[in-house]
Amino acid sequence: MNRSHIEMEKRFKVWIYREGQPPLVHDGPVNNIYGIEGQFIDEMESGKSRFVARHPDEAHVFFIPITIAKIVNVLYRPLVTYSRDQMHRVVDDYIRIVAYKYPYWNRSGGADHFLVSCHDWAPEISDANPEFLRNFIRVLCNANTSEGFKPQRDISIPEINIPVGKLGPTPQNMPPNKRPILAFFAGGAHGYIRKVLLEHWKDKDDEIKVHEYLDKTQNYFNRMAKSKFCLCPSGYEVASPRVVTAIYVGCVPVIISDNYTLPFSDALDWSKFSIQIPSKKIPEIKIILQGISYDKYLKMQKKVRRVQKHFVINRPAKPFDMIYMVLHSVWLRRLNFGLTYFLN
């Protein structure tokens, strides 16, 4: 990854379409679980990014600065319908305007255009016009292959719960010998996988510590920091901010999901620093984790600490951080696509 990352820093240019007005365009939330939308848009439009092209003719890719989270927050308040029609119209109309005004969409069929969103509805933007948007790169947290996510075209990014006034949880690195808990989870029964997890393990085992609610005397992040493995089950959607939180506190994430394409998997080998368990094997969690030798655990935990930098948001962005990783994934898509004009 280092070589392609360095090459990206030297060459890669992104054009940001200037059409449209906030709050639906050139805006976005900067906090909570959808905060990456606003953070990415703000970083790219801050005037400080080395990747922004001065003219569209020198760009390798084109960023559609629409924010799905703001569309839902503005157009669906009060919430009287779950119909995606209004969202579809905004996305379709915007792209048709830039496709009519400029030659760039039409020459590639949208294959060098991308949008970034962590909202649960974002994967459905392509339903507005599936044929017109068939090549469009969707950079999504909700990377569910059973719901139309295409790993060869789309990009999976991590879901981060960004606190107000911060850029993410505070990284911690408790040493392995100070982690007496084998595995930990605390959270509500949101979605099928969590219900199964709680049904099998809630308050039933001294080593697999699964709770629906923590006692008020216990600190959630401290419990994660004292655990060797942190259980990260999917909720209503496949992505969970627990994965990033686990990495931040140096806990090996145990990703319990089905049909989930892991973030930045074109650059990161998740098998080196996480355990992946399908939902059907939830009853076997203890056997699986006890089967991992302490030596292997130490190597995985060391790798967790090494990859932390890829899941950190910096403003301005820094090499190998999360915003650079998003751009690197887009860069790889364009290299793989092989557009003749892209490498000219």
Least-confidence region, from 2-6, 138-142, 229-233, 309-313: 2-6
In Å, what is the CA distance from 2 to each residue of 11, 139, 306, 342? 14, 21, 14, 21
Computed over every residue of the chain, the mean pLDDT equals 94
Q: What is the pLDDT of residues 84-125, one digit of tens each?
A: 999 999 999 999 999 999 999 999 999 999 999 999 999 999
Residues facing 144 on adjacent strands: 260
Tell me phi and psi for residue 139, to 5 degrees.
-100, 105
Over residues 47-70, mean pLDDT: 97
On the question of pLDDT at 269 being above 60, the answer is: yes
pLDDT in tens, 204-229: 999 999 999 898 888 999 999 999 99
List of domains in the chain: 1-162+316-342 (no CATH), 176-311 (3.40.50.2000)
Tell me what pLDDT residue 216 has: 83
Q: pLDDT at position 338, please?
A: 59
Quote the pLDDT of residue 217: 86
Rounded distance between C-alpha atoms, residue 52 and residue 58, angstroms? 10
Pairing status of strand 252-256 against strand 227-233: parallel
Percent of the chain scoring above 90 in pLDDT: 91
Edge-to-edge strand order for the sheet containing 137-140?
14-16, 61-63, 113-117, 137-140, 155-156
Q: Evaluate whether 108 touches 340 at the Cβ level (below 8 Å).
A: no
Counting Cα atoms < 13 Å in the Cβ hemisphere of 289 gives: 24
